[in-house]
């Protein structure tokens, strides 16, 4: 007479075990599938951006093959970083659901658990908004390839060379050697100085009494001379420098502007060289710089 | 005696299969319908904006036929971008509902799943507000055709030439060659310098002692002369330049203002030319610029 | 024996059909009623603003009949714009309710649908706040007739002539020809320069040594002379110009202020004319402008 | 035999009708009561502010009777504006409840309706916060009588004369004739220049070398002289003007300050008159104004 | 046979009446108790602040008895203002609960009512946040006695003499006679100039060539002389004035600082007197003020 | 026959009474336990901060025993303030739960009560965020001992001596005698000038023509001389003063910087003394201060 | 006959006891497991950052062994701090769930408890957002090793040497000896001056008339000379200093820039030394510094 009772106790237990095993197995399979799907999507999303090579071209002085390698490498890294995040999210959802389902099957009352987790979750959730913002911002920065290690960027809070990019922060080193950690979510706009070309702009204030056409020709001469030197032409300055004329009639001087298009991040150097040569030329021609 | 039991087990299973298949089929049909509907609405919304051609007219020096082609192309691109977003949203709603319905029919407990997704969803939702804002802002920018690739805009964070517009960000290149990535949601107002016309404004400070009427006539002469040159008239300057008179009696000078309406984005060039000629004219007439 | 079963199946089906048809019919009737009601309310709300004519009067130089036509036209446009929004909202509520009711009658489980829509809705809702703000702001701007096409307004982000007003944005063109798109929700205060009158204010700095009463009389003379010219009196300047006296004893000069009330948006022109004439008069009287 | 069935169908229908009629009748009665209650409360709240007359006294040059009339009129207007809002809110709550109750009695499923309205409501609710803020701010401004039409106020966004006050916005006209529409909710502090008195403050910079006591006496003399003229005494200047002494030993001058209390909004005029007279007196006494 | 039916109808009706009466009676008793409790707590909270007298002591020139009266009066007013708010809140909670309970007992469906109120409540609630903030801020300001009518405070938005303090706003009048209405919730920090003492600080710039020790002694002499006059000593200046030495070696002068502790709000007056006397003394000693 | 009925009525009544008494008794015991637990935790948390003594050491010139007493007293006060808050929270939770449980046992419908309280609670809750922020900020300030009465702190809104610290506000008195009430939640960073040491930094501008080494030696001499006076050495200046050299080659002068580490809050005094002596020394050496 | 009843009472009581004991035991085991898991994860996360050693290398002048020790110690501290937080969170969730489960098993009604806690929780939760933000920010700062005790950082609110880092605040001491307590959540970007290298930048303004090449050579000489001194080379200056040329043609001078890379936080010292030597060299060469 005990046996049937035992059977009555054993049978549902076995049914339970089967049910639970099933849940666990299905969860693991689903997670596996989700991970593969994510991998495929991310890889395809990366591959769909051929413009990357175009934008990188101006950035580094590399052979096309080297460029292809860099592009491929960057793309791989990016796919990996973002895929890892998505895989984590998928795992949390699938395994979390599985655990709750198992607990429910075991007749463990999950309401108290949910209550505890929920209250704490909301409490933390409010505070974690910023964190999520940082990660979302980071993901899109990577997906859109806004900048990479080695680029000189203006991130608002600081200007410098990118040393590292993670999903949460960007690490820069500015001109003074200061290392900046900037949360991605606080970067509303980024100015990248390492894509395509930069422009050196030199303002030259001359006295009111100066002969305007003479000054203009002199500036043009200096610009042409520099453009004709092989050390600058094409390798550093990528377009013939231009004298833009009188930018401003200020209350103390007539201000001329000279402009030169350079390869990325070399504009300061070119501007300094231009200033040196212009100052020398003006001195030779006895044209007074405004004072 | 087993057979009826089997039947009892098989019958509902078949009913299940039918029900599930039905749900899937209906979902796919609905999705298809929704996509078509969206396509039609978006296309119509684009077509309803004939003003686009009008606004573009002043922007580029193209033949009416070329303009029509540009307008048509822009319209097509816009319809595609926005339609794609709406199609994704519709797919997510319809397929999500279908999946949940199927799970429910399969007696899979969906409460735990919803709980997991819900908690994570709220957590992410708070942080993703900005993302949604960016997309909404981007959609309306496209729909209202506020700017397109090639326009020079003032987006607040930076001023430059638009290089790319996506639903999330706008990519500009400023005068120094810096490439700016600006999130659409952070652009509260846009100033487009490439629509219709621009105005070159030149302020000329002259000494207190100068004869006002003489200065006025001189400035008018310079402006007329420039207006009468075919290189400028109509092709660059689109209206007769005006001498506006004394803009300010500052504590150091009498400031005259000269103004010229130009085709879009050429105002700086015209202003520089005006300054050069005015300076020359004042020198010839021995009128001292204030110092 | 099959027949009763068929009947048993057919009868409720017919009942269903009737119920659903009823729901649809009622929904359409309600929608129709709501649209009419909205039309009536909006039209009445517009009609209740006779002050509009009063405020427009100063704005354009039109005959009373022309004014009435403008007012009527503006009112009609406004009623249409706002009515259209309210009609859309009413349609969404009524048809949405109808669809849900039908689905429920058809025993389609609507909980999963609501869940999908709900999660997505909240996610988008947070981000769409700004959008709703823009629309609400736009509606009230229209209802209160704060500005219309052709007015010169200061919208905070930019100052210029209104080119277009929609529920979401206001399009301005500033003095430099830049076209501004400003979201209505970001405009917390608007300054309209095209209603009633404007005031030209000219500050004249004179040397400390100047004889104050002489300067005062001279300025009054210039102002009177201008007021007495038919080209200005009433058509441009609407009140006798006033010399307000010493506005400031600054550390470099005694600053006099002259003021003239003009018709809207003509103040800059009048101020420039005043400056020209005052400078000439002071020169004639050998009074030194402070330097 | 049909009759009892008919009766069975008719009886509850009649019961329904009675129930619904009852609901409607009660709702209308409640609404009526609420409106009366609101009217009484608002009128009493207005009447409880006798200080209004006190504050208005200084504001306009009216006879006590005229003042009483103005006060009564303002109070009436205010009671009306606020009462109207409260009546609308009460109507919406009572009629909304009645409609839902009737629908429920009619066995119309109201869940779908509530869902539709709810989702839309939340979506709009987020965006409408600002609107509600404006109205609440407007109500308290009226209740506290912070300013009225004709007062000169500093509302932060603009300074000018109040032209209109509604629950949502305040309309000002500034000194340049610009009309400002300011949302009440954006006004965090208001400065009212038309209550009680204003103060004209004139800063007089004199050279370091000046004899301090002489300057002091001279300024006192000018102030006294003005105070003794019937045109100013009491009618414009309400207290004997004071010479406050050396306000600052700046790096360019010794700065004296003279102060005069005037009736509201006349301070600029008095200050200009004071400056004119002081300049004349210093000239007569050969005291150099700092330069 | 009708009677038992009537009884069956009457009995529960009587039970209902009793139940409802009971609810109402209990609610009124509870409200009464709550009001008394609040009165007691508020009075005790006020009484617990003996520091008030201490802080007021420096503020007004009153006899200890007068001071006690002021303190008692202020305390009473405060207790009343805050008690009134708490009483309102208690009444709303208790009566609201009673009304809902009665409605429920009467089998009136309260769900629709709650829905209507709830939706409106949330809509308004969002917008009313600011209002609640103002009231909470006001309550704590009163409880902490941060300032009272007659104090001169710096409230951020404006500086002036407090004219009125309510739970929602603070009314100030600034030095120019402008009346400011500032919402309590926008005042994040308050600077009260009328508690304990104020300090007059006078900066005296002297020429580089001046003999430092001589200047120092001279300043000390002036300060001592003023301190020894009965008109100032103790009644206005409460501590011996100090010469703090060279505060700054600016690029135009050596700046000395003299400081004097005064009774509250008299510092400007003392500073002006000090400047007058120092200027006179420096003139007598032929020490040039920097120019 | 009545008795059994009575019994039937009495028995559950007694059971009720017992149940309710039990709830009340348990609630009181739990509250008692919670209070003791809180007391113990807070006392231990305070005791765990031996660093306090270390940080106080530099702050006051007290004997080690006196210091120990101050530390113990501060710790006790802190434990009391924080413990009181936690005890209140525990009481509210435990007693609130007990009341609700009793009401439920008494079959009083608590849903209406919760609704009333809930709606009001949410309404107030939104507005009370700031209040809670202030309290949390205050608690951590106390726990971390960021500052105490008598410290000179920079709280952002104002700089001054702390007069009182409560959980909600901090009361400062600034140098001008103004008393500041600052909400703790608005203080995002605090600068405490009374911990460890302060540094006096004196910038000395000398003319370009000055002999740099001579100036350097002279400054060093002045610094050494001061360091060697017992009035300053160790008691006020705690480290040998340093001449840091040329801080800036400005456009008007060469600026030297001298620095001296002092005990807390005495830096201004030392800086003034340094300026006096440096000025004297430069005069003796005939070195011109830049002008 | 009593026994069975007793048994009936005892049996479930024992079942209860067993159930409760089981819950408690499982909870403790789970907590134990969670703590171990956390310990392992945190330790691994720390170990995965070998870059730490790299970044520290430039920071301190230590032997590789000393460096390894520092790195290991830092890593250990970090693992401990973060592990402690995670352990607390796990304990709260697990024990909270256990308590609620036990209460439920004991048939204690937990709804009232949850209500009380919930209302208070939400009220506090809103206010505690900032707290959670601070902790999350602190955790990531530690995990990413953005800075440690002894580093000189720019935290936005203040610049100084880190004295302590907790999860909630960072304690800095600035150059003036002020101790800053900054909440981690308010630090959106950190600039660390103690990682890798710093750069000393010296701007030298020379008169327009100066011979540019001579100045350039002179500056180069000074820089070389300093680089060749063993006191600086490698130990302080880590790269050959560079003369960058004309940085700006300002309206008062030609500004040259000299730059030197130093070990972290020594740049100010090097810059001062450079200024001294440059000034001396220019004096020797009779080159006028601009004035």
SS3 label, residue A24: helix
For B258-277, what is the mean pLDDT? 91
Residues 6+ apart with CB under 8 A from D32: none
Of residues C92 and F215, more confidence is placed in: F215
DSSP E288: P
Determine which of F100, F120, F127, F222 to mutate to test the interface with E (most E C-beta atoms within 10 Å): F127
How sure is the predictor about F261, in pLDDT bands with cuts at 50, 70 and 90?
very high
The pLDDT score that the predictor gives to residue E111 is 63
Given a cut of 70, whether residue F62 has pLDDT beyond it is no
SS3 label, residue G185: helix
Residues of A in contact with B275 (CB under 8 A): 245-246, 249
Lowest mean pLDDT among B91-95, D125-129, E113-117: E113-117
Given a cut of 90, whether residue B86 has pLDDT beyond it is no
Name the most confidently modeled range: C42-51, C114-123, C228-237, D75-84: C228-237
Q: Could you write out the three-class secondary structure of chain F?
A: CHHHHHHHHHHHHHHHHHHHHHHHHHHHHHHHHHHHHHHHHHHHHHHCCCHHHHHHHCCCCCCHHHHHHHHHHHHHHHHHHHHHHHHHHHHHHHHHHHHHHHHHHCCCCCHHHHHHHHHHHHHHHHHHHHHHHHHHHHHHHHHCCCCCCCCEEECCCCEEEEEEECCCEEEEECCCCCEEEEEHHHCCEEEECCCCCEEEEEEEEECCCCCHHHHHHHHHHHHHHHHHCCCCECCCECCCCEEEEEEEECCCCEEEEEEEEECCCCHHHHHHHHHHHHHHHHHHCCCCECC
SS3 label, residue B181: strand
Q: Going edge to edge, which strands form the sheet with A254-262?
A: A198-206, A254-262, A242-249
Provide the CB-side half-sphere exposure for G18 (13 A, CA).
6
Nearest-angstrom CA–CA distance, B70 and C1: 72
The pLDDT score that the predictor gives to residue C178 is 93
Nearest-angstrom CA–CA distance, F20 and F12: 12
Given a cut of 70, whether residue F177 has pLDDT beyond it is yes
Specify the DSSP element, H or E, that contains E182: strand E179-183
Percent above pLDDT 70 for chain D: 78
Of D92, D189, D251, the CB nearest to E182: D189
Can you read off the two tokens belonging to residue D268?
Answer: 């600029």
Given a cut of 80, whether residue C109 has pLDDT beyond it is no
Please report all neighbours of B, defined by 3+ CB atom pairs within 8 A: A, C
Can you read off the two tokens belonging to residue B233?
Answer: 């008239």
B189 and C181 within 8 Å at the Cβ level: the answer is yes
Class of domain G152-192: mainly beta
How sure is the predictor about A270, in pLDDT bands with cuts at 50, 70 and 90?
very high
The pLDDT score that the predictor gives to residue D108 is 62
pLDDT tens string D254-280: 889 999 999 888 899 899 999 999 988
For F29-53, what is the mean pLDDT? 73
- The residue of chain G with its CA nearest to that of F19 is G108
C251 and D279 within 8 Å at the Cβ level: the answer is no
Nearest CA to CA, how far is F155 from chain G (Å)? 10
For G2-21, what is the mean pLDDT? 69
E190 and F203 within 8 Å at the Cβ level: the answer is no
Can you read off the two tokens belonging to residue G102?
Answer: 């036990």
Instruction: Determine contact, residues B143/B78, Cβ cutoff 8 Å.
Output: yes
Given a cut of 80, whether residue B142 has pLDDT beyond it is yes
Residues 6+ apart with CB under 8 A from B216: B243, B245, B256, C276
CATH architecture of F131-196: Roll (2.30)
Q: What is the pTM of this model?
A: 0.82
The pLDDT score that the predictor gives to residue G53 is 44
- The residue of chain A with its CA nearest to that of B113 is A97
Residues of A in contact with B177 (CB under 8 A): 193, 196-199, 261-262, 264, 267
Can you read off the two tokens belonging to residue E287?
Answer: 């020490």
Question: Which region, left, alpha or beta, applies to residue E169 given φ > 0 means left and ψ of -120 to 50 means alpha?
Answer: beta
Given a cut of 80, whether residue G55 has pLDDT beyond it is no
The pLDDT score that the predictor gives to residue B220 is 93
For G196-202, what is the mean pLDDT? 91
Determine which of A249, A254, A263, A270 to mutate to test the interface with B (most B C-beta atoms within 10 Å): A249
D289 and C208 within 8 Å at the Cβ level: the answer is yes
Nearest-angstrom CA–CA distance, D61 and D112: 62
Of residues C184 and F3, more confidence is placed in: C184
pLDDT tens string G22-42: 888 888 998 899 888 888 887
Strand ranges inside B166-215, DSSP E: 169-173, 179-183, 189-192, 198-206
Of residues G148 and E47, more confidence is placed in: G148
Please report all neighbours of G, defined by 3+ CB atom pairs within 8 A: A, F
Closest CA to G94 of G46, G43, G38: G38
Nearest CA to CA, how far is G64 from chain A (Å)? 23
Provide the CB-side half-sphere exposure for C101 (13 A, CA).
25
Can you read off the two tokens belonging to residue B242?
Answer: 């005006």
Can you name the residues that pair with C279 across neighbouring β-strands?
Answer: none
For F210-220, what is the mean pLDDT? 89
Per-chain mean pLDDT for chain C:
80
For B94-114, what is the mean pLDDT? 70
C129 and D126 within 8 Å at the Cβ level: the answer is yes
pLDDT tens string B166-205: 888 999 999 999 999 999 989 889 999 988 899 999 988 8
Provide the CB-side half-sphere exposure for C265 (13 A, CA).
18
Specify the DSSP element, H or E, that contains C259: strand C254-262
Provide the CB-side half-sphere exposure for B12 (13 A, CA).
8
Closest CA to G213 of G121, G109, G277, G285: G285
What was the ipTM of the complex prediction? 0.77
F to G contact (≥3 Cβ pairs closer than 8 Å):
yes
For A192-197, what is the mean pLDDT? 88
Class of domain E198-284: alpha beta
Given a cut of 80, whether residue E103 has pLDDT beyond it is no
pLDDT tens string B18-62: 878 888 888 889 889 988 888 888 777 666 554 444 444 444 444
Q: Domain residues of chain G, as ranges?
A: 2-108, 152-192, 198-284
Closest CA to F116 of G266, C255, B92, E27: E27
Per-chain mean pLDDT for chain A:
80
Nearest-angstrom CA–CA distance, F188 and G57: 33
Closest CA to C155 of G219, B191, A272, B226: B191
Nearest-angstrom CA–CA distance, C287 and C221: 15
Residues 6+ apart with CB under 8 A from D43: D79, D83
Lowest mean pLDDT among E130-139, F109-118, G178-187: F109-118
pLDDT tens string F64-95: 555 566 667 767 777 777 788 788 878 877 88
The pLDDT score that the predictor gives to residue E5 is 54
Specify the DSSP element, H or E, that contains C209: none
- The residue of chain A with its CA nearest to that of G122 is A123
User: Exposed, middle or buried: residue C58 (CB in 10 Å: 0-12, 13-18, 19+)?
Assistant: middle
Question: Which region, left, alpha or beta, applies to residue D204 given φ > 0 means left and ψ of -120 to 50 means alpha?
Answer: beta
DSSP A253: -
With the CA atoms of A34, A36, A38 and A44 taken in that order, what torsion angle do they form, in degrees rounded to the nearest 10?
-150
Of residues B265 and G273, more confidence is placed in: G273
Residues of E in contact with F284 (CB under 8 A): none
Can you read off the two tokens belonging to residue F252?
Answer: 């008007």
Neighbours of G250 (CB within 10 A): 14
Instruction: Determine contact, residues C112/B100, Cβ cutoff 8 Å.
Output: yes
pLDDT tens string B182-191: 999 898 899 9
Instruction: Determine contact, residues B145/B163, Cβ cutoff 8 Å.
Output: no
Of residues D102 and E177, more confidence is placed in: E177
E113 and D133 within 8 Å at the Cβ level: the answer is no
Given a cut of 90, whether residue A154 has pLDDT beyond it is yes
Nearest-angstrom CA–CA distance, A150 and A165: 10
Instruction: Determine contact, residues C134/C185, Cβ cutoff 8 Å.
Output: yes
- The residue of chain G with its CA nearest to that of A170 is G189
B to A contact (≥3 Cβ pairs closer than 8 Å):
yes
How sure is the predictor about B67, in pLDDT bands with cuts at 50, 70 and 90?
low
Given a cut of 60, whether residue A146 has pLDDT beyond it is yes
Of residues E240 and F79, more confidence is placed in: E240
Under CATH, what is the fold of the domain B133-196? Answer: SH3 type barrels. (2.30.30)
Of F93, F136, F248, the CB nearest to G131: F136
Nearest CA to CA, how far is B76 from chain C (Å)? 22
Nearest-angstrom CA–CA distance, E84 and E78: 10
Lowest mean pLDDT among A155-164, C9-18, F244-253, G111-120: G111-120
The pLDDT score that the predictor gives to residue D180 is 95
A to G contact (≥3 Cβ pairs closer than 8 Å):
yes
pLDDT tens string C121-158: 666 666 677 888 888 888 888 888 888 888 899 998 89
Lowest mean pLDDT among C30-39, C61-70, D235-244, G204-213: C61-70
Please report all neighbours of C, defined by 3+ CB atom pairs within 8 A: B, D
Can you read off the two tokens belonging to residue E123?
Answer: 């809509």
Given a cut of 80, whether residue F204 has pLDDT beyond it is yes
């Amino acid at each position: 007479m005990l046996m049937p009772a035992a059977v009555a106790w054993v049978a549902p237990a076995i049914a339970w075990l089967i049910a639970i095993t099933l849940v666990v197995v299905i969860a693991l399979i689903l997670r596996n599938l989700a991970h593969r799907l994510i991998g495929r999507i991310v890889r395809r999303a990366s591959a769909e951006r051929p413009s990357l090579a175009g934008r990188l071209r101006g950035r580094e002085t590399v052979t096309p093959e080297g460029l292809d390698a860099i592009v491929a490498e960057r793309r791989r890294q990016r796919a990996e970083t973002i895929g890892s995040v998505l895989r984590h999210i998928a795992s949390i959802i699938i395994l979390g659901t599985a655990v709750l389902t198992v607990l429910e099957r075991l007749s463990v009352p999950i309401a108290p658990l949910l209550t505890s987790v929920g209250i704490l979750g909301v409490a933390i959730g409010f505070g974690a908004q910023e964190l999520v913002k940082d990660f979302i911002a980071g993901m899109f920065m990577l997906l859109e390839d806004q900048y990479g290690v080695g680029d000189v960027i203006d991130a608002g809070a600081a200007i410098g060379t990118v040393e590292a990019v993670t999903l949460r922060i960007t690490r820069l080193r500015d001109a003074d050697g200061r290392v900046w950690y900037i949360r991605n979510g606080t970067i509303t706009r980024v100015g990248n100085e390492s894509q395509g070309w930069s422009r050196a702009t030199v303002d030259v204030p001359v006295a009111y009494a100066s002969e305007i056409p003479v000054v203009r020709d002199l500036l043009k001469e200096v610009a042409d001379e520099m453009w004709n030197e092989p050390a600058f032409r094409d390798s550093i300055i990528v377009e013939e420098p231009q004298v833009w004329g009188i930018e401003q009639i200020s209350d103390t001087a007539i201000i001329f502007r000279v402009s030169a298009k350079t390869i990325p991040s070399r504009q300061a150097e070119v501007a300094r060289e231009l200033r040196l040569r212009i100052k020398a030329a003006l001195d030779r021609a006895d044209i007074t710089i405004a004072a």
